[in-house]
A = this chain, B = another copy of it.
Amino acid sequence: MKISDVARHAGVSPSTVSYVLSGKRSISDETRRRVLESVRTLGYRPHAGARALASSRSNVIALVVPLRSGIHVPVVMQMAIAAVTTARSYDHDVLLLTQDEGVGGLERVAGTALVDAIIVMDVELHDVRLPVLRSLGRPSVLIGFPADPTGLTCIDFDFEAAGAACAEHLADLGHREIALIGAPPAVYERGTGFAERTKTGFQRAAADRGVRALVRPCDPQDARSTATELLRDHPGLTGIVIHNEPTMEPLLTAFRAAGRRVPDDLSVIAIAPDELAERLGLTSIAIPADDVGAQAVSLLMTKLEGHEVPGATLLPPRLVIRSSTPEIPGT
C-alpha cells in the first residue's frame, strides 16, 4: 500500500496525493475529495521512514527523563504523559530516552535524524549536556533552569514564587516564625536548582514580612527526628511548609507525636500533588506537571516552525487553601 496505489485508485499522480495530504499546494475540492476517498478505502498510511527521508522531518521528538533519586516519579510521569498527548496534537510522536544515555544519546538521536527536536527534563545547574544542546542544530527545550541559560529555551514551575507564596500566606495568617522542610540533602548538593529556588523565595518573602524563617532538608528516613528536633529547638514555630512528598505523612505523624496538633498548634502547607494534599486536608501548592509538559512541547513546536520563543517560561504557583491553615491560627 503505497502512495502510487492511492494515486492510481484516485486517477491522479502521486505528487497530487502528497499535496492533498500535506496541504502544501492548493488542490481543487473535487480532486481532494477523490484522493481522500481513495486513502480511506485503501487504508493508506504513509511510510514514516520514507517520509522522513524525503522531507528531512521525522515528526518525532525526544524526551529525556531523569532516573535519579530525590525526584518525584509521579510528577515526571505526569509531565511525560502530558508531553506525549500534546505532541500528538501537533502530529508528532515521542521517543523516550533516559538520562544515562547522556550526551551520546542526544548526539545519536539528533545525528541520525531520528528526532526533530529534544526536550530534556531535570536539568542540572552545570549540566554537561548544555553545550551539546546548544550546538546540536536542532531545537530543544529544557525543563528546569541551568546556571547559564543563554541560548537555550527553559521552562519550569516557579518554585521561587511558590516558596514565597507559602511564606506570605503564613505571614498573612499572623505566624511570626515559620519553617520550610525541603528535599533530601542530596538534592540540594546536586544543584538541581528547584530545591534551592523554593528556599530562596521562602526566605526572601519571610524577610520582607519580618517573619523568622528556618529551612531544613530532610531525608525520608529522618522525618521523625527532623520534626522532633525542629519543634523542640524552636518552640515558637507555628507555621510549616513541607516540600518533600514521601516524608509528608511521617512528618505529620511526628508533629502529632510531639504534641502539636494541625491546625490548632501548627499550620501546614504542602508543596505536593493535589491528590495527596487533598487526602491529608492540607493547604497546598501543586506542581502543575501537566502544564509544564504540555507547554514544553508547545514551545518546542513553535521553535520547529521557525518562530522565536521566550528564553524563560515560569509557571506561576496556585495556592489551594484547605483546613491546615485556618484564618485564625492557634499558638
CB of A25 closer than 8 Å to a CB of B: no
Size of the chain A interface, CB-CB below 8 angstroms: 45
CB of A228 closer than 8 Å to a CB of B: no
Known: A77-B73, A95-B96. A58 touches B63 (CB 8 A): no
Closest chain B residue to A49 by CB distance?
B52
CB of A253 closer than 8 Å to a CB of B: yes
0 or 1 for each of A76-118: is its CB under 8 Å from B? (1 = yes): 1100110011001000011111101100000011011110000
How many Å lie between the Cα of A322 and that of B58 in the bound state? 51
How many Å lie between the Cα of A59 and that of B72 in the bound state? 31
Among the stretches A40-48, A299-307, A312-320, the one at the interface with B is A40-48
CB of A326 closer than 8 Å to a CB of B: no
Q: Which of A48, A56, A80 has the most CB of B within 10 A?
A: A48
Instruction: Please give the distance in Å from A208's CB to the nearest CB on chain B.
Output: 37
Q: Which of A52, A65, A80, A100 has the most CB of B within 10 A?
A: A52
Give chain B residues whose Cβ lies under 8 Å from the Cβ of A76: 77
A48 and B113: CB pair below 8 A?
Answer: yes
Instruction: Please give the distance in Å from A84's CB to the nearest CB on chain B.
Output: 5
How many Å lie between the Cα of A104 and that of B25 in the bound state? 28
CB-CB nearest 9 A-B residue pairs: A49-B52, A45-B111, A49-B53, A48-B114, A48-B112, A96-B96, A73-B74, A49-B49, A94-B96
What are 17 contact pairs spanning A and B, CB under 8 A? A46-B112, A47-B112, A48-B49, A49-B53, A49-B56, A49-B58, A52-B52, A67-B81, A73-B77, A81-B98, A84-B96, A88-B101, A94-B96, A95-B96, A96-B96, A220-B279, A221-B279
